[in-house]
Structure 1
Amino acid sequence: MKIVAVEAIPFAIPYRKPLRFASGEVRTAEHVLVRVRTDEGVVGVAEAPPRPYTYGETQDGILAVIRQIFAPQLVGLTLTERETVHTRMARTVGNPTAKAAVDMAIWDALGRTLDLPVTALLGGYTDRMRVSHMLGFDTPEKMVAEAERINDDYGITTFKVKVGRRPVTLDTAVVRALRERFGDAVELYVDGNRGWTAAESMRAMKDMADLDLLFAEELCPADDVQGRRWLVSHLDIPFIADESVPTPADVTREVLGGSATAISIKTARTGFTGSRRVHHLAEGLGVEVVMGNQIDGQIGTACAVAFGSAFELTARRAGELSNFLDMSDDLLANPLTIRDGHLQVPPGPGLGIDIDTDKLTRYRTDN
């Protein structure tokens, strides 16, 4: 079970429509496919999505750090030496999605070697999750129409609404329109991607106090320490830390410092090894957890549902597992399918997915 190669392959797949939010927008999935090969011929895969406006990573940067730094450090290790893998990659500052993809590809290879699903290796709580769909910036009419389509086509009844525009009434009007259209038939929560000040956030939350929101996520920047603590202390719903908690140490700081009361776990950011640490920490701290979305493709979504299904705490809430629906294509031989508002873990060893080699040839950008 020794690692003999760690490969990084850039690819680009356009979105049918851009996803817009307070910290940027995504028009094309310019991601990196990571493959880990073993001496037994097993290949594990994962996906690294660059988010320069969030973590400072670019596609070229991910390729460079994996090919030039991580691969030489990891070749020769076994698939079970995951703590050694973690320690060696941790020597390099930053690069969270590059590290996460390498980690998850190793877990996938281990599951394939042992003929066991990754979700079973992690915890095996269930084999599916309810799905939450993210709605990006648009007019109230268009965002309601998208929610209607997603509800009709896939049975999804939980929506995460991107907010953070100015004036705040642009977004409070959207959330109100969604609640008026669906009543209590759907769950709604908001994500500001750090777009508002603490004062703007408070004004918006007061405007939406009658809309029965599940959560509020990253409404204002984490570096506004006093303002954020003040905001969180006045809210009567959980405040999710997302971009502000890329490591377990950040989770501890935000929760114990009074700047958050819930956590978003993103396997694209912390892999399986790091996400398990965050999960256990959140469990010990007694905070709620949501499985977040890094605007993942289907490979990243398969990783997220594998982890989220493994534990009761992460399976309790709907996970953000549907934004691959906005992509024009993907790399999987057997695409993921959302039915009746749920996404099932693909059956089979490892992540249960296979790469379509023809699609990889078509979309890779290093030919």
Structure 2
Amino acid sequence: MKITDVEAIPFAIPYRKPLRFASGEVRAAEHVLVRVRTDDGVVGVAEAPPRPFTYGETQAGIVAVIERIFAPQVVGLSLLEREVVAQRLARTVSNPAAKAALDMAIWDALGRSLDVQVTELLGGYTDRLRVAHMLGFDEPAAMVAEAERMRDRHGITTFKVKVGRRPVSLDTAVVRALREGLGDDVDLYVDGNRGWTAAESARAMKQMNDLGLLFAEELCPADDVLGRRWLVSRLDVPFIADESAVTPADVTREVLGGSATAVSIKTARTGFTGSQRTHHLAEGLGLEVVMGNQIDGQLGSACTVAFGSAFKLTSHRAGELSNFLDMSDDLLTEPLEITDGELAIRPGAGLGVEIDPDKLARYRQDN
């Protein structure tokens, strides 16, 4: 079970409509497929979604760092030496999506080698997650219509609403329209992607106080240390640290500093090994956890549900698993299906998914 080769293949698949939010927008899934091969002929896969406006990574940068720096450091290691892999990757700063995809591809290869599902290797708590859908910037009527479509077609009843625009009244009007249009049978929470100031955030949350929101996520800049502490102390809902809490050390700083009371775990930026560390820390600190979405494709969503279903804490809330529905196509041989508001892990070893070679040939960018 030794690693013999690592590939990083850039590909691009258009979205049917762009997803817009305070820190940027996404019109195409310009991602990187990572493949790990072993001396037993096993191939593990994962997906790296670069987010230059959040972490500074680009598609070309992910390919370069994996091929030139990471691959030489892991080739020759056993699939079981995951801590050695983690420490070698840690020598290079940043590059979270590149590190995460390589880590998850190794876990997928390990599961395939042992004929065990990744979620069983991680914890095996359940086999599915309830699904939350992210709603990007749009007019109130359009966002309500999208939420109704997701509820009616897929049974989704939890929605994460992107906010952070100016004036603030645009966003509060949208959230109010969603509550009035969908009723009290759905769960709503807001994500500012650091777009508001602390004062704007406090005012907006006061205006939405009667809407029964589950959470507020990254409403104001992470480097506004005093403003965030002031804001969080005035909220009556958990405040989720997302972009500000990539590592366990970040989580510790944000929570003990009074800047957050919950955490988003995104396997796309911490893989399975790093996500385990964050999960265990959150469990020890008694934090709420939400499985987040880095606007993943279906392969990335399969990784998220594999991790989220492995633990009681991460499966308690709906995970952000559905934005692949906005993509015009995907790479998997069998598309993921959300049924009755849930996404189940795939049967079979590893992640239980396979890459369609014809689709990869069609969408890869390095030909």
> Which TM bucket (shorter chain)?
over 0.9
**Mapped pair 1:166 → 2:166:** yes
Displacement over 6 Å in runs of 4+? none
In structure 2, distance between residues paired with 1:88 and 1:6: 15
- Counterpart in the other structure of 1:41: 41
Match of 1:260 in 2: 260
The CA deviation at 1:162 is 0.2
Which residue number in structure 1 is paired with residue 184 of structure 2?
A: 184
Secondary structure in 2 aligned to 1:55? coil
CA-to-aligned-CA distance 1:216-272 (integer Å, 9 cap, x gap): 000001100000000000000000000001111000000000000000000000000
Shift of 1:134: 0.2
1:164-313 to 2 correspondence within 5 Å?
164-313=164-313
Q: CA deviation at 1:181?
A: 1.0
Tell me, in whole angstroms, the C-alpha distance in 1 between the residues paired with 2:148 and 2:20.
Answer: 19
Q: What amino acid does structure 2 have at the position aligned with 1:123? A: G
What secondary structure is seen at the aligned counterpart in 2 of 1:15? strand
Superposed CA RMSD: 0.3
* 1:70 corresponds to 2:74: no
Matches within 5 A, 1:31-180: 31-180=31-180
Counterpart CA distance in 1 for 2:292 and 2:347 is 22
Give the whole-Å Cα distance in 2 for the aligned partners of 1:328 and 1:217: 28
Residue matched to 1:364: 364
Hey, what's the Cα distance between the residues in 1 that align with 2:120 and 2:175? Answer: 38
Structure 2 distance, partners of 1:221, 1:284, is 26
2:15–2:326 contact (8 Å) kept in structure 1: yes
SS at match of 1:230: helix
User: Residue by residue, what CA displacement relative to the aligned partner does 1:107-159 show, whole Å, maximum 9, x if unpaired?
Assistant: 00000000000000000000000000000000000000000101000000000
Instruction: Give the gaps of 5 or more residues in structure 2.
Output: none
**Aligned 1:13-28 pairs, distance under 5 A:** 13-28=13-28
* Paired position in structure 2 for 1:341: 341
CA distance in 1, matches of 2:246, 2:144: 32
Aligned partner of 1:101: which letter? A
Q: Deviations over 1:293-333 (max 9, x none)?
A: 00000000000000000000000000000000000000000
Aligned residue for 1:315? Answer: 315
Paired residue type of 2:79: L
**How far apart in 2 are the matches of 1:140 and 1:339?**
26
Once residues 91 and 127 of structure 2 are traced to their aligned partners in structure 1, the CA distance between those partners, rounded to angstroms, is 35
Q: Distance in 2 between matches of 1:101 and 1:270?
A: 8
* Rounded Cα–Cα distance in structure 1 between residues aligned with 2:252 and 2:353: 34
Cα distance in 1 between the residues matched to 2:194 and 2:270 = 20
Paired residues of 2:4 and 2:75 also in contact (CA < 8 A): yes
- 1: distance between equivalents of 2:3 and 2:130? 35
Which digits, 9 at most, give the CA deviation of each residue in 1:76-122, with x for residues without a partner? 00000000000000000000000000000000000000000000000
Q: Is this contact kept in 1: 2:144–2:182, CA < 8 A? A: no
Asked if structure 1 preserves the Cα contact closer than 8 Å seen for 2:47 and 2:300, the reply is: yes
1:72 Cα deviation from its structure 2 partner: 0.4
> Residue 341 of structure 1 aligns to which amino acid in structure 2?
G
The normalised TM-score by structure 1 is 1.00
Q: Secondary structure at the match of 1:185?
A: coil
Cα offsets for 1:164-189 (capped at 9, x unmatched): 00111000000000101121110000
Determine if contact 2:225/2:259 at 8 Å carries over to the other structure.
yes
Q: For 1:312, what is the secondary structure of its paired residue? A: coil
* CA deviation string 1:188-232 (max 9, x = no partner): 000000000000000000000000000000000110000000000
TM-score, normalising length from structure 2? Answer: 1.00
SS at match of 2:269: helix
Mapped to 1, the partners of 2:182 and 2:323 lie a distance apart of 21
Q: Distance in 2 between matches of 1:162 and 1:261?
A: 19
Tell me the SS of whatever aligns to 1:67. helix
Q: Where does structure 1 lack aligned partners over 5 or more consecutive residues?
A: none
Matches of 2:217 and 2:17 in 1, distance apart?
24
| Contact kept in structure 1, 2:160 and 2:190, CA below 8 Å | yes
